[in-house]
Amino acid sequence: MRKRNISCSRKKYTTASVLFFPFQGSRGLLQSMRSTGYNIGMLRVAQLQLKDDIRSKNAAIDVDSSIVRTRRRKADGRWVMGAAY
């Protein structure tokens, strides 16, 4: 039975490749932090737009309810029957 040489399958690291890996990891981390910051900014913009939409809808609700109250106040108290009776 022959023994396999395990050291052949391992990658040989040179000094340059060992020094390169930490910088590549921190570069990826910085890119991830930038994209996360961008996404947080976009979420804040969306939140401001939603708050503005809610404010506008509440104003529209107030206007509609005041119109209904005004029409009820000015309405004649009598019910008008149609031509069927």
Quote the pLDDT of residue 20: 53
Comparing 69 with 81, which gets the higher pLDDT? 69
Comparing 2 with 32, which gets the higher pLDDT? 32
Quote the pLDDT of residue 56: 97
Question: Residue 81: what are its φ and ψ, rounded to 5°?
Answer: -85, 145
**Does the structure show a pLDDT above 80 at 73?**
yes
pTM of the model: 0.53
77-80 long-range CB contacts below 8 Å, 24 or more apart?
Answer: none
Joined together, the tokens standing for residue 48 give 């401001």
DSSP single-letter state for residue 76: -
Residue extents of the structural domains in the chain: 16-73
